[in-house]
Structure 1
Amino acid sequence: MPRRDPARDRQGSHRGLTCGTPTTAPVPDSPATTRAPYGPRVIQPRGADAEMTRLLRNRTAMLTAATVRRLEAEVEWYRGLAAEDRSWISLVATSGITAFIDWYERPTPTTYNAAEIFRAAPPELTRSISLQNALALVRIVVEVVEENTQEIASPHRAQELREAVLVYSREVAFSAAEVYARAAEARGAWDARMEALAVDALLRDDSEALASRVATLGWSGEGPVLAVVGTTAVPVTDARTADLRRLARRAARDALVGNQGERVVVVLGGFTDARAAVELLLPRLSEGPVVMGPVVPDVAAAGRSARAALSGLAAVRGWPEAPRPVTADELLPERALAGDSTARASILERIVEPLEHANGPLLETLAAYLESGRSLEAAARTLYVHPNTVRYRLRRITETTGWDPTDGREGFVLHVALIVGRLST
């Protein structure tokens, strides 16, 4: 290894150069970031002294007052707050300035934690102001401190203080975003739980609990309501439920989503076209049947729609060719055969009784037509009338009930109605 020349080293040092390992020239004091292994990041301003800290603490009240004046002059949402909330905002601003001074004096992760800054105010404050408003508050505090750096610090320390403010404000902004993200997650979990309880109250026909819970969830109560029931081929996770909920709220003004094991119950309110709204949900449900309950006037009656849809889902296996979605009313015969007393009562009310009270022997004509193999001539011979008379009476049956005896599926509905009517007497 060659020997070093001391004279040459001295000559290099006079020229501002070094031999061997190069070194960098000293830099002015500025904030720096260090990270302990596996620990939190700590941002440290270089060269904070007691005099600067004293000056900052002496001007805390002045900086807070300047911040409040800026908020009153420039920020509309601040002027719209209640007096109590405005006082909390002032307290938060003071807390933020104090936390900055503490960080400037002794940098630690907790001194730039927004949770610590907002701890001075009640948790309800995050419901009064949004994340955007909170960040606007941080921005104004930073601008106020930055504007007053020349008065607070000596000329050779003003730039250092300005850089420290900018570094600190960045960390507080990110921390504030984390605070609101956690609040949003907690709110989302609480809403999901309340939504599940609302669906449960709806199915149990607990109208009092249902009214309070949907009001808490912000149900507008405008427009008709219906329940939709489907199945899921895979376990229903929180992410899948949230995705279905977002889609449901695009399909209708109001929506509730509840998981019942392998079944999913969706309640829609305030829609224009019921079938179109339900068809938007089909991609998020399994390939199995989807049953729509009857449309009801309001959420208080939604339990009736949901129970009919659940009854239809249990009976839809009796009609393998059922459309998707299918209405609970289209499944009236299967529901009645499965033991649904509500379906039997609906059949009596909507089919049997209108035919009994109609002019002419419509029930007898229907029975003769269906039990003769749907033959006009055979029915006419049974009734001792002309086939055209049977044809005329069949048209009247369609007009009276809404079901056509000459159609295969609708004739089956009417045939079950005949049997239910006979069993009810």
Structure 2
Amino acid sequence: MVASVVGAAGAVPPEFVAGFPEILADVSASCRTLSRSEREGRRVLGEQAADAGYGLRDLTAVHLAAARRAWATLPGVTGARDTAELRKTGTAVLAALEAGIAALSEGHERAQRHAVRRAEAARRAFVDDLLYGRSDPGRIAEQAEGFGLRLADRHVVAVAAPPDGETYDEAHPLLRRVERELAGRFGDHDALIAPKDGRLVCVAPTTQQHTLDAFVTLCSVHRVAVSRPHSGAVGVVRSYEEALSALDLAARLGLGAKVLSAADLLVFPVLLRDRAAMADLITSVLGPLEHARGGAEPLLATISAYAEAGYVNAEAARRLDLSVRALSYRLERIAALTGFDPDDSLQRYTLETAALGARLLGWPTSPV
């Protein structure tokens, strides 16, 4: 019986070497190569060993040990009449050993690839269920523990949007870089990193803010949105939706920030909650701007830039690439057409709110 070999994966049972000494004995007698069925048999054993949790190094070691022990008793060795015959036998046995180990490696690697694909499929299914709230919360919580998440804790969700023309998936270099960096810096962590619908998602407990910060830094090449913290499986869904909403608002408002906080954008869902009222505000306050020379868009941009500059004329003029005199003329036209003065503290708020609503609804390009 072939003895077990103890390695990093533990003792490899003799059944994973079954028949190999006999194959070598036959090869030594005839100096033939391994047959197709013999190579396939080794591949199958390699797959079975991988599925049983035994490493390739240990599997290789037990086959080499079996060959070493069998060498002195092989028929081609004991029956060799001279050095030339012994050399021929040794060459054939070594070639068979090489082919057998190569077949074992192929089977082992094939099983590992299948395991990786199964794990990725399970991961994708879990991420879908988690982020869309499609499954029973108790079942999701149980599954989450296998991915390092304890859903009873409070979590934050960060969503990274790819640059135009790209999508983030399992093969994207950024995902590999993020996983490598986080593992190297923090070792085992409880954050879940996964691609979803072309974006990259990080679900992290609030106790691991450093992990979340590192993810945001690594992914802020284009734009990242960070939700508020919420508890439980339902809270993760809510956080994910908040982050997606922040990305959508940033795109519609033309925001230039690389990192967006959902908490900073809470006013916009409020503005959009009553779309009819917002449409009425836009048409009532800003509608007269469409009669201006050049249309409403230059004056609408002026209202937004003036607000973003803190109502400082010089800074607003710089942002619009205008002279201060030209800016003043535009502000006068806005006041004359709308009846709302941008330099009046109350009236400017009405103008700014209407301008934000216009950007959210795409006015004046799209009718409201």
Same fold (TM over 0.5): yes
Q: TM-score, normalised to structure 2's length? A: 0.58
Contact 1:145-1:165 within 8 A present in 2 as well = no
Cα distance 1:317–1:336, how it changes in 2: closer, same or farther (>3 A)? farther
* 1:143 equivalenced with 2:94 (yes/no): no
Does residue 219 (structure 1) correspond to residue 148 (structure 2)? The answer is: yes
**Identity across matched positions, percent:** 16
Q: Judge conservation of contact 2:158–2:225 (CA < 8 Å) in 1.
A: yes
Letter in structure 2 aligned against 1:250:
E
Select 1:126's aligned residue among 41, 51, 58: 51
Comparing 161-170 and 241-250, the one that deviates more:
241-250
TM-score for both structures, normalised by structure 1: 0.51
Task: Please state whether the residue corresponding to 2:158 is helix, strand or coil.
Answer: strand
CA distance in 1, matches of 2:154, 2:73: 59
5 Å-filtered alignment, 1:88-103, equals 89-101=13-25
Q: 1:171 to 1:312 in 2, by over 3 A?
A: same
- The aligned amino acid for 2:19 is S
Aligned residues between the structures: 264
The alpha-carbon deviation at position 221 of structure 1 amounts to: 4.5
Provide the alpha-carbon RMSD of the alignment: 4.0
Q: Which residue of 1 aligns with 2:78?
A: 153
Determine the structure 2 residue equivalent to 1:8.
Answer: none
1:16-43 Cα shifts (integer Å, max 9, x gaps): xxxxxxxxxxxxxxxxxxxxxxxxxxxx
The unaligned stretches of length 5 or more in structure 1 are 1-64, 341-372, 375-411, 417-425
Question: What is the Cα deviation at residue 279 of structure 1?
Answer: 1.1
Distance change in 2, residues 1:215/1:116 (3 Å):
farther
Specify the structure having the higher radius of gyration (Cα): 1
2:131 maps to 203
Q: Are residues 1:307 and 2:235 paired?
A: no
The Cα shift of 1:272 comes to: 4.4
Q: Distance between the aligned counterparts of 1:300 and 1:170, measured in 2?
A: 55
- The answer on 1:333 being equivalent to 2:267 is yes
Q: Relative to 1, partners in 2 of residues 1:100 and 1:299: Cα closer, same or farther, differing over 3 Å?
A: farther
Matched, 1:256 2:193: yes
1:245-271 per-residue CA deviation (whole Å, 9 max, x = no partner) reads 5523533624231321x4443334674
Structure 1 pair 267–103 and aligned structure 2 pair: CA distance change class (3 A): farther
Q: 1:336 Cα shift?
A: 2.9
Q: 1:327 to 1:249 in 2, by over 3 A?
A: farther
Structure 2 gaps, min length 5: 275-309, 312-348, 354-368
Report the 3-state secondary structure (helix = DSSP H, G, I; strand = E; otherwise coil) of the residue aligned with 1:236.
coil
**Contact kept in structure 2, 1:290 and 1:324, CA below 8 Å:** yes
For 2:3, the equivalent position in structure 1 comes to: 68
Q: Corresponding residue for 1:56?
A: none
